[in-house]
Amino acid sequence: MNLRNPKSKLLLGPGPSNADPRVLRALSEPTIGHLDPDFVKIMDETTDLLRYVFQTANQLTIPISGTGSAGMETAIVNSIEPGDKAIICVAGVFGERMVDVAERSGAVVVRVDGPWGSIVDPEDVRKAIKENPDAKIIGIVHAETSTGVLQPLEDIASMAHENGMRIVVDAVTSLGGVKVPVDELELDFVYSGTQKCLSCPPGLAPVTVGPRALDFIKNRETKCQSWYLDLAMISRYWGSERFYHHTAPVNMIYALNEALRIIKEEGLESRWARHQLNQQALMTGLEAMGMKLVVEPDYRLPSLTTVYLPDDADDALVRSRLLKEYDIEIGAALGEFKGRVWRIGLMGTNSTKGNVVTFLAALEDVLTSVGAKINPGVGLQAASAVYR
């Protein structure tokens, strides 16, 4: 058996999501030198497209070599010097991870916690700022993939700036699916990943660096804690100097370039609307079947839906049958939600009416056959009504 010839599956979990076929073809184009003049043109076009998707004029807008987590680490090590104070908002796994990364990078971390399945309250952030006026950054997750919450950023961004702090934003599961208002809110450092709403395989972490954050990078007193992720050096490769730092993952940059072109062809606004509509249909179908959504309506993340398991459904059994019988992957939950909640992603290329309908039908079939308490025969109807 050839293990490395996997069949194609529908990836409706928290990531990776399916890569667009055009992106996979781009990956297989001939590898050329990372300083080849032809490659340099592709780099320039890719950063232009990234600025479009991030809606920013930030010059330093580039893909970091590594997955979304490398984006997080890049953001942190390029935003603080050891001993600096960082206020980090935590309402799920990725906020928790940002705390860990910040502590390992030498930050003195002040946590602001929110309940799982909800937002971090801006009033709690205000209090933390008041008690810690010497903090340098506020770290926050825009789209918390462990809970399905979309965190509003407006108030927290303006509080940060009024108090001379920079805001560092995790947009791994929002970029390309949900509006990320980088310049509108003057977000100082935003990072993402290729494998969620950009519909590209895992492997790159787009980042964008605003003027305040760039100023910090240029004037810091100590060297960046990480050699590999030091933007002062990496930016010399992506800028006009083309100074060698590390070999760019050439084919992944082809793939990202194609993924970004696809987004531009569709247009950001249409893409956000598509994510919203398909999630609406999915949620309506799940609710009609009798299931309860985790997040209250105001804070639902269009690219990832969290739902409580119906009574008498076995988490692992249902997910494994969806995978075995239908080639559909959905996500288990983590932390406080483990075993009680499913995470259903409709990200990028995967956010389609066809996938919503296919998934609801498959889920109903599996749930019925395991004897779970659901209302059969109504999920699909309710979902299709949303499209009419």
Ligand X SMILES: *Cc1c(COP(=O)(O)O)cnc(C)c1O
Q: Which residues pair with 86 in a beta bridge?
A: 109, 137
Which is closer to ligand X, CB of 68 or CB of 114? 68
Q: How far is CA 26 from the centre of its chain?
A: 22
**Contact residues for ligand X (CB under 6 A)?**
15, 67-69, 72, 94, 141, 143, 145, 170, 172-173, 193, 195, 202
Residue showing the smallest CB distance to ligand X in the complex? 68
> Least distance to ligand X from the beta carbon of 141, Å?
5
DSSP character string of 177-226: TS---TTTTT-SEEE--TTSTT-S-S-EEEEEE-HHHHHHHHH-SS--S-
Which is closer to ligand X, CB of 94 or CB of 216? 94
Both structure tokens of 3: 């293990």
Say how far apart CA 73 and CA 8 lie, in whole Å: 31
Which is closer to ligand X, CB of 176 or CB of 285? 176
> Least distance to ligand X from the beta carbon of 151, Å?
10
Provide the residue type at 210 as one letter: G
Provide the residue type at 267 as one letter: G
Which is closer to ligand X, CB of 201 or CB of 379? 201
On whether the CB atoms of residues 27 and 203 are closer than 8 A, the answer is: no
> Least distance to ligand X from the beta carbon of 241, Å?
29
> Least distance to ligand X from the beta carbon of 149, Å?
10
> Least distance to ligand X from the beta carbon of 76, Å?
12
In terms of C-beta density within 10 A (0-12 exposed, 13-18 middle, 19 or more buried), how is residue 297 classed?
exposed
Say how far apart CA 316 and CA 184 lie, in whole Å: 42
> Least distance to ligand X from the beta carbon of 338, Å?
17
Which is closer to ligand X, CB of 94 or CB of 359? 94
Which is closer to ligand X, CB of 97 or CB of 321? 97
